[in-house]
Structure 1
Amino acid sequence: MKKYFLLGSFAIITLFLSSCKTSQEVVNKKEPNTEKSSKKNQKFKPYSEVITDEAITDDGLFKTHQIDEEYFYEIPQELLEKDMLWVTRIAQIPNNLGGGYLNAGSKTNQQVVSWERFQDKVLLKVKSYDEVALDESAAINNSVKVNNYEPIMYAFDIKTFNADSTAVVIDVSKFLSSDVPSISGLNSRLRSQYKVRNLDSSRSFINSVKSFPKNIEVKQDFTFNAAQPPSNGSVGSISLQVNQSMILLPENPMQPRLYDPRVGFFTVGQIDYSSKELKADEKRYIRRWRLEPKDPEAYARGELVEPVKPIVYYLDPGTPENLKKYIKQGIEDWQKPFETAGFKNAIIAKDAPSKEEDPEFSPEDIRYSVVRYVASTTRNAVGPSVSDPRSGEIIESDIIWYHNHLRSYRNRYLLETGAANPNARTLDTDSEEIGEMMRQVIAHEVGHALGFPHNMAASYAYDVEDYRNGDFTQKNGIAASLMDYARYNYIAQPGDENIRFVRQMGPYDHYATNWGYRVIPNANTPEAETETLNSWIMEKAGDPKYKFGRQSSRFDPQSQTEAIGNDPIKASTYGIKNLKYVAKNLPQWTSQQTDNYDDLQELYGEMLGVWSRYVGHVVTNVGGVNEDLKKPTQAGTVYSTVDKKTQKESVQWIKENVFDTPEWLIDRNIVKNISPDAYFERLRSVQVRHLNNLLSFDRIGRLINAETTETDYYSALNLMDDVQSAIFTNAKVDVYKRNLQRAYVERLEYLMNEDSRFSNYNKDQSDVQALVRGELKSLQSTLRTKRNRAGNKVNRYHYEDLLARIDLIVNPR
């Protein structure tokens, strides 16, 4: 009863205070709560005994304190239960970790977290916005919460409170120096692959903890004991540096824009249980920066308006002076597409401020996006970004440029354009031309950081013959989008004049930027925007310059990486004709200039890769299916099979350019100066790669599927017959042909016996085994005849070996 009386008295006092309006009285009203908290906190150590005079303190989002090897977070009470984005990246990486698919800067995990007080502990909880009730008033909102209970990543004992109890102090030393799975640099696959046993605590430590106004950055140096490390095997361990970024998310999320697959954007996804649909409604939002016009009225009138907050990229202080101009140009090339979207000066490049200009500037501060120049032998550039999973708002990005990447572009420039482009026939490419290449690569990576994925259909928009037209290429470049993987014009032939060989921004880039970034006045919900967004797509429907092609559509000859032109057969024919010219002159352009064979060896190896890419573009025609993303209101179907004539011509082209030994690739002036052996093995490996690709489960499955939808189709049997004929013709049978014939029999054995669980059909109950068995039986008859007519002992032994192999396949013992 006494407790009840006191609460009642407090309520009366509160009512009295609430009738007074001065700010001082509002402050006084809070004092009893602070005093009460102070009394409650008396069981904890005094602040000064935990955070001693020896502490090195960094003020920011949280105050962080370092005392010897211990680290403490001082978390303001007002930031408890606030959404924060936790991003884990590999900062420094050992050689060959992940087999080349990981690099410094690779993100290993991204999750939303919040710090929450529970009794005498602070819990670090992992939150998810994958499943939500966007209408928080809906009754189902409670069900979403109780059926998506948030896991606790870690629990910390409260060590103390600050003087006025507005912040709680925890020790994060053990947490940040432990192998916590959800923020580890090594996932379960890598641990299994390299047989990782455990974290070696004696060789692991916290490198640094830095606090900035909106984020906290932690670097950890970890060493794991491993039985089979990817490099330095004698050490028996894997060492890497991991960067943990914790970022305060905006209090008010940006209004999302609903994704439409007909326009290419990276996305975030949610399942909305409060939808009025008769199911959980999956929604995808595009990832984009928050651009808002300073003058909304002028913007609505169609005037160019500056954004409230432009996108600014700072150049790494370590960037070579001679390259800064091109990096800045690559960044600001996106100003024109943003003008199409109504924004002026929307994206700006700046030099990083000096210590004197801004002593607090740091590339790790989430407020700054940076083009980082990395001194590394890696040949790559990447454009990662961090986005709010609630809305898709891009918060920050760092473009990463690796020093040796320009060497890749020099080599590709020489190999792919050297026949038609005299300027490319050198190892010392002109600095302005190298700068132009770098400019376009930076612009491409910035495009990723703006939310744009690769658009592999953009290079299919132009006719093959247009690439030989100087006026056309100078105006249009080599693809309708910079976001395609179309690097060089490999189609132009010797004698063609005024040709542009390097990619550039295209019309699709303007179109996609407008679609994703233009503010639609008075559309206050994502759903209110959809009619306008759809109308913009329909205005361009049917025009190949504005088509988006997914990189994942590996069955689609219209959306191929590294391809240019709308006819793979014609484009690859031009490309190989140029490569033959380059191969003949490669020693003159390399070893005869340097007086060593290092560059010749490097470029010869890369030339095989270029040839292989050209071949792969034609292979995709076989069993090819064109994908044209569209809504049901648009005419035509989404998927259409490549016509029979084109498929048959493609197999004939592969016979002539791959299965018939490409002797021009075995130039004695090259191979006898770069390796003592294995010339035949290099060529064999590429030939077999395309043979196996041609006779893949998925490709055969699409050909079988065509029987169900087409009246005149290229069948799986047609492919089997044509490939066998191409490989076992009466042409000269040499070491290369023998290798290929053995590989063919091995591939049929694979199709007969291997598990096809990753294809889209049941192999054992399909036509595949019957077709393979029939082809092997037919081949047996052919081989007996060839064995009896063999002109030399090696070929006779070869045919006998093939017959024995086939017998084991069709009659397993």
Structure 2
Amino acid sequence: MKKTLLLLLLSLFTISSSLEAQRKSKDKKKENSEAKTSKAKTPKYSDFINKDTKTDEGLFKVHFDKDKFIYEIPKSYLGKEMLLVTRLRDIPAGLGGGYVNAGSKINTQVVVWEKYKNKVLLKVKSYNAVANDSLPIFKSVEANNLEPIIYSFDIKTQNSDSTAVLVDVTKFFSSDVKAISGLSSRFRKTYKVKRLDADRSFVSSIKSYPENVEVVQNFTFDADAPPSNRNTNTITMRVNQSMILLPENPMMPRISDKRVGYFSLENVDYSSEALKADEKRYIKRWRLEPKDVEAYNRGELVEPKKQIVYYLDPATPEKLRKYIKQGVDDWAKVFETAGFKNAIIAKMPPTKEEDPEFSMEDARYSSIRYVASTTRNATGPSVADPRSGEILESDIIWYHNHLRSYRNRYLLETGAANPSARTLDTPAEDIGEMMRMVISHEVGHALGLPHNMAASYAYPVDSLRSGSFTQKYGIAATIMDYARYNYVAQPGDKDVRFVRQLGPYDHYAINWGYRVVPNANTPEDEVKTLDTWIEDKADNPIYRFGGQRFDPSAQTEGIGNDQVKASTYGVKNLKIVAKNLPSWTSDQTNNYQDLSELYGELLSVWGRYSGHVVGNIGGVFEYNKKPSQSGNVYVPVTKAKQKESMAWLQANVFKTQNWLLDKDILNKIEETGYTDKLASYQNRFLGTLLNYRTLNRMIEAEVIQDEFYAASDMVKDLRKGIFSETNATKNVDLQRRTLQKSFIEKMKNLMDNEESKNNDISSIVRGELEALKNQVNTASKRAVNTITKYHYKDCYAKINEILNPKK
């Protein structure tokens, strides 16, 4: 029995040992197999790049195969700063209410590609806060400005010599990544965007150039309220992503000064010795450096090391090319003021035979695009290095239909005094001159110059009627003002220039921004010299820079230094144009389409002239100065000029303008709505005058002005003028009845305004409404016709409700 049991135990042990040996053998084989499999699955370069792969050489190698885009990023570029620019390439009709254009820049951000373990991170680097990296505070700036990660990419493999890593960027560029999206949160809310449809969204192309990579994305969103094609519930757009390598050595910045107009960028410098972080603002400009520094310092004209070159779009109609080229080349003479010759030029791009690698998408080349679009606009955007303000490239956009706007304005604003404008077929040379000046204006933006609306205020109004003056100086001191046409010149004035041109301010601003200051090694070293250049010309209005807001001398579309006088001339001319509009349009074309279009624009022109005068009331001139200069920065418009402006408005705006309601035009172009259009302008001007900010400026003028136009007097004058019919037994016409109701409504808005309740405005409104209540009550008892009587009683009831609101 014992023997049998022993044999049984030995047998079980042998079987167990055998099974264990078999298990270990299997485990070993499995490990070897897994090791071989693992080794076999390690990605190789050839797994991604093969004979079927298309490769584009450039800043990065871009590989494309089977709908996959792969970047081969040299390790030497990891950590290098690059500029990522997001632009709208193609957009649906009506996006942004028509105020957003294809080519618009949506976002600009500095990015770096950074390796972390087995990933590459794309991070945004901010220059809003900076410090010298040699100072202890630099660590705190870094710690308190952690760079956000836009995206994390898996490293697929390396190239054969391990000098570059491969990452798949397909998902990044085909997904709805908010940091690079062309659709803002505002648009998403407005158009009720639900999601990006992945099946209808894709990367259209990725091209690599020596200094940049260009990506075109096709995105389709599901949206409940798209801007156009509403029944599709769809928004489709094309977005362009430009990634540009920033210069290894940044240009020395130039400190901005608000006395000279330049686009600028701002950062907070924690390296400052001041007792707070120092806010610094630098202008945007091209890097122009003289080839021969010694000759330049002697005052000789010297060519720059790198010329600014604009290439014309091959799609530009041949008959227009010379005007576009002239619009660019005109700036070459301006740059001579800053000591540079041949600084800027326009060219046709090389042909494929001349340069097969040339592309308008290449960030090394600036261009003027001619876009086949019904949009009436032109833009002059540029891309600048946020570290220094250096403009790196620019793509000016001209939209095909923009010339129609200029033709219409030319006819309306100069037709009374300018025979060549009295036609729909504007002479080709005139159209070309207009286009040339629009391009010059947009080039000015691309050179760093913003609008300078104060420049048109530099010239006396009557000088604009002089042929010798306007031919020499133009109609404004700069091309950067919106002084498009000379609407002041009267019939019979001889040899007057009607179209704007570059002026003395342009030479001054380019010299200030681009002239090299000798022996200056830091931006701060330049300031004393730059200040001298400004202060030497500070008393001359030709060299003044002014932005829009409350300043009546810096208004859009105005010309001359007296708005009342200029607008009087302008309206006088418009009345001549209005009488002749049918003979210059519908009589020639045998249809009313152009008459209708031009009549609508004629109302707009009258509205602009009127708005210039409105700006005087409650207006404050702004003269930017440093403490070393004499005089005040803010100077209210004189009482006499404000009262003169009020009288002008009563006669030319608030009194019914029957010349704008010409039945020989209106009964040809629309069945109704013309009185509403006129009323909308009158309502707008009332809103400007009876506005909290306007009234508050007038109230505060009491503190700084010895003789001022009191807010209470202004509202009283306005009331008396608008309700002048109440002083006589007289009917109130339709236009005036609408205007009078609008006055009461605007007064109600002021009464309800929370800001108005704690100052004199509420007192003024209440007092004037009390007076008006008695005024219309008395007038209703002697009204001539029924509608006038009903109107006064309605006004009485509305005023009573405002003064005695129901609890």
TM-score by length of 2: 0.94
Secondary structure of the residue that 2:97 maps to in structure 1?
A: helix
Distance 1:364 1:138 in 2: 41
Q: Tell me, yes or no, if structure 1 residue 88 matches structure 2 residue 86.
A: yes
Deviations for 1:436-462, whole angstroms, at most 9, x for unmatched residues?
111111011000000000111111110
- For 2:705, give the aligned amino acid: E
Task: Look up the match of 2:67.
Answer: 69
Secondary structure of the residue that 2:456 maps to in structure 1?
A: helix
Distance 1:335 1:402 in 2: 25
Q: Tell me, yes or no, if structure 1 residue 252 matches structure 2 residue 249.
A: yes
CA 1:342/1:43 → structure 2, altered by over 3 Å: closer, same or farther?
Answer: farther
Aligned residue runs from structure 1 range 400-419, under 5 A: 400-419=397-416
Aligned residue runs from structure 1 range 611-622, under 5 A: 611-622=606-617
Task: Look up the match of 1:222.
Answer: 219
Task: Look up the match of 1:106.
Answer: 104
- For 1:743, give the aligned amino acid: S
Deviations for 1:436-490, whole angstroms, at most 9, x for unmatched residues?
1111110110000000001111111100000111111111110111111100000
Deviations for 1:623-655, whole angstroms, at most 9, x for unmatched residues?
000000110010011001101111111111111
Secondary structure of the residue that 2:756 maps to in structure 1?
A: coil
Deviations for 1:244-297, whole angstroms, at most 9, x for unmatched residues?
111100000000011111110000111100111110000011100000111111
Distance 1:754 1:169 in 2: 61
Aligned residue runs from structure 1 range 136-535, under 5 A: 136-535=133-532
Q: Tell me, yes or no, if structure 1 residue 801 matches structure 2 residue 794.
A: yes
Distance 1:273 1:209 in 2: 39
Q: Tell me, yes or no, if structure 1 residue 782 matches structure 2 residue 775.
A: yes
Aligned residue runs from structure 1 range 632-671, under 5 A: 632-671=627-666
Task: Look up the match of 1:572.
Answer: 567
Secondary structure of the residue that 1:265 maps to in structure 2?
A: coil
Aligned-residue offset at 1:754: 3.8
Secondary structure of the residue that 1:269 maps to in structure 2?
A: strand
Task: Look up the match of 2:734.
Answer: 735
Deviations for 1:656-675, whole angstroms, at most 9, x for unmatched residues?
00110010001111111000
Distance 2:400 2:206 in 1: 28
Residues 44 and 159 of structure 1 are in contact (CA less than 8 Å); yes or no, is this contact kept in structure 2?
Answer: no
Secondary structure of the residue that 1:804 maps to in structure 2?
A: helix
Deviations for 1:58-100, whole angstroms, at most 9, x for unmatched residues?
1111011111211111100000000000010111111111112
Aligned residue runs from structure 1 range 115-130, under 5 A: 115-130=113-128
- For 2:748, give the aligned amino acid: E
- For 2:495, give the aligned amino acid: N
Deviations for 1:738-791, whole angstroms, at most 9, x for unmatched residues?
000111111111111145xxxxxx322111222112211111101101111111
Residues 554 and 620 of structure 1 are in contact (CA less than 8 Å); yes or no, is this contact kept in structure 2?
Answer: no
Aligned-residue offset at 1:732: 4.7
Deviations for 1:590-640, whole angstroms, at most 9, x for unmatched residues?
000000001000000000000000000000000000000110010011001
- For 2:737, give the aligned amino acid: R
Q: Tell me, yes or no, if structure 1 residue 768 matches structure 2 residue 761.
A: yes
Distance 1:682 1:113 in 2: 50
Deviations for 1:375-398, whole angstroms, at most 9, x for unmatched residues?
101000000000000000000001
- For 1:567, give the aligned amino acid: D
Aligned residue runs from structure 1 range 698-777, under 5 A: 698-730=693-725, 732-754=731-753, 762-777=755-770
Aligned-residue offset at 1:522: 1.2
| Aligned sequence identity (%) | 62
Distance 1:715 1:63 in 2: 70
Aligned-residue offset at 1:52: 3.0
Secondary structure of the residue that 1:113 maps to in structure 2?
A: strand
Deviations for 1:697-727, whole angstroms, at most 9, x for unmatched residues?
1101111111222221111101110111111
Secondary structure of the residue that 1:259 maps to in structure 2?
A: coil
- For 1:790, give the aligned amino acid: A
For structure 1, which segment, 204-213 or 51-60, has the greater mean C-alpha deviation from structure 2 after superposition?
Answer: 51-60
Task: Look up the match of 1:604.
Answer: 599
CA 1:82/1:495 → structure 2, altered by over 3 Å: closer, same or farther?
Answer: same
Aligned-residue offset at 1:795: 1.1
CA 1:501/1:732 → structure 2, altered by over 3 Å: closer, same or farther?
Answer: farther
Aligned-residue offset at 1:810: 1.6
Higher Rg: 2
Secondary structure of the residue that 1:484 maps to in structure 2?
A: coil
Residues 124 and 152 of structure 1 are in contact (CA less than 8 Å); yes or no, is this contact kept in structure 2?
Answer: yes
Secondary structure of the residue that 1:784 maps to in structure 2?
A: helix
For structure 1, which segment, 712-721 or 411-420, has the greater mean C-alpha deviation from structure 2 after superposition?
Answer: 712-721
Unaligned 5+ segments in structure 1 are 1-39, 756-761
Task: Look up the match of 1:9.
Answer: none
- For 2:203, give the aligned amino acid: I
Secondary structure of the residue that 1:540 maps to in structure 2?
A: coil
- For 1:615, give the aligned amino acid: S
Secondary structure of the residue that 2:603 maps to in structure 1?
A: helix
Secondary structure of the residue that 2:551 maps to in structure 1?
A: coil
Aligned-residue offset at 1:42: 9.9
Distance 1:170 1:725 in 2: 74
Aligned-residue offset at 1:44: 4.5
Residues 306 and 343 of structure 1 are in contact (CA less than 8 Å); yes or no, is this contact kept in structure 2?
Answer: yes
CA 1:41/1:290 → structure 2, altered by over 3 Å: closer, same or farther?
Answer: farther
Distance 1:84 1:93 in 2: 26
Distance 2:293 2:41 in 1: 55
- For 1:592, give the aligned amino acid: D
Deviations for 1:127-146, whole angstroms, at most 9, x for unmatched residues?
0011000x221111111011
Aligned-residue offset at 1:101: 1.9
Distance 1:411 1:207 in 2: 39
Q: Tell me, yes or no, if structure 1 residue 48 matches structure 2 residue 33.
A: no
CA 1:42/1:724 → structure 2, altered by over 3 Å: closer, same or farther?
Answer: farther
- For 2:802, give the aligned amino acid: I
Secondary structure of the residue that 1:348 maps to in structure 2?
A: strand
- For 1:645, give the aligned amino acid: A
Residues 41 and 161 of structure 1 are in contact (CA less than 8 Å); yes or no, is this contact kept in structure 2?
Answer: no
CA 1:786/1:293 → structure 2, altered by over 3 Å: closer, same or farther?
Answer: same
Aligned residue runs from structure 1 range 577-592, under 5 A: 577-592=572-587
Unaligned 5+ segments in structure 2 are 1-37
Distance 1:94 1:661 in 2: 41
Residues 194 and 230 of structure 1 are in contact (CA less than 8 Å); yes or no, is this contact kept in structure 2?
Answer: yes
Aligned-residue offset at 1:43: 8.1
Task: Look up the match of 1:12.
Answer: none
Distance 1:342 1:349 in 2: 20
TM-score by length of 1: 0.93
Aligned-residue offset at 1:229: 1.2
